């Protein structure tokens, strides 16, 4: 085994506990692995399975097993192939999990035309001036309770932007937006606005 850290392979550096080597591997392969996982996840399951979560799990597994010396790779390209294989395996396991029995997204049914018509009628109805004023007061009170980032995300959502567009505008991840929106929904429920 070479003495100098620069002469070690990435796997040897990991086994020696080099955190910088782990960071470099993550930076080098994470984006490609997310793309690989996303390609295997159907659109129907995309709302349930997060490719980024899968890739995090891939690296946790890889780093843990590499530090234990469970991998013996001959070529530098073998790390890429190994990570891709672990990603595919973990993705297929998640897909299988979400297709089992009651979790099967294929059994979900879309809302019928009657529900859509009712929703459209409710949305078309004009509120009275008192109702509009009360709602705006409640909304202003609610916005005051939000953090700046949550408020900005909610404003963009109300303007019709989707999570991907908001992520690009604010320079944050789609996952963070979903997490913050979940917190906003919980707060709205406590404030009586979720109805």
What residues contact 145, with CB distance under 8 A and at least 6 apart? 187, 191
Q: Which domain holds residue 88?
A: 5-107
Q: In whole angstroms, what separates CA 44 from the centre of its chain?
A: 15
Residues 65 and 143 in one domain: no
Asked if residue 120 is part of any domain, the answer here is no
Q: In whole angstroms, what separates CA 3 from the centre of its chain?
A: 40
Chain position carrying tokens 């963009």: 156
Residue 1's pLDDT band (boundaries 50, 70, 90)?
very low
Q: What are the pLDDT digits (tens) for 101-122?
A: 555 555 555 544 555 566 566 5
Please say whether the dihedral angle defined by the alpha carbons of residues 44, 45, 48 and 53, taken in this order, is positive or negative. Answer: negative
d(CA 87, CA 54): 7
- pLDDT at 124 exceeding the cut of 70: no
Q: What are the pLDDT digits (tens) for 143-172?
A: 788 888 888 888 888 778 888 888 888 899
Tokens at 178, concatenated = 């979903």
Residues 103 and 21 in one domain: yes
What residues contact 82, with CB distance under 8 A and at least 6 apart? 62, 71, 73
Q: How many CB atoms lie within 10 A of CB 126?
A: 7
- Residue 6's pLDDT is 55
Among 30-39, 59-68, 133-142, where is mean pLDDT lowest?
133-142
Residues 93 and 164 in one domain: no
Domain count, the chain: 2
Confirm if 166 and 157 have CB atoms less than 8 A apart. Answer: yes
Let me know if 166 is exposed, middle or buried by CB neighbors in 10 A (0-12, 13-18, 19+): buried
Boundary of a domain, candidates 107, 136, 156: 107
């Amino acid at each position: 085994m070479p003495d100098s850290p620069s002469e070690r392979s990435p796997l040897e550096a990991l086994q020696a506990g080099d955190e910088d080597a782990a960071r470099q591997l993550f930076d080098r392969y994470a984006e490609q692995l997310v793309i690989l996982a996303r390609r295997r996840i159907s659109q129907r399951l995309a709302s349930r399975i997060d490719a980024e979560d899968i890739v995090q799990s891939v690296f946790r597994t890889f780093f843990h097993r590499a530090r234990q010396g469970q991998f013996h790779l001959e070529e530098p390209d073998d790390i890429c192939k190994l990570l891709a294989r672990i990603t595919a395996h973990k993705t297929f396991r998640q897909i299988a999990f979400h297709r089992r029995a009651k979790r099967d997204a294929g059994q979900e049914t879309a809302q019928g035309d009657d529900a859509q018509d009712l929703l459209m009628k409710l949305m078309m109805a004009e509120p009275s001036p008192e109702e509009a004023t009360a709602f705006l007061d409640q909304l202003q009170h609610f916005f005051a309770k939000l953090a700046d980032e949550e408020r900005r995300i909610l404003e963009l959502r109300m303007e019709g932007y989707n999570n991907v567009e908001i992520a690009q505008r604010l320079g944050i991840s789609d996952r963070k937006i979903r997490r913050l929106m979940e917190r906003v929904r919980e707060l709205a429920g406590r404030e009586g606005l979720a109805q």
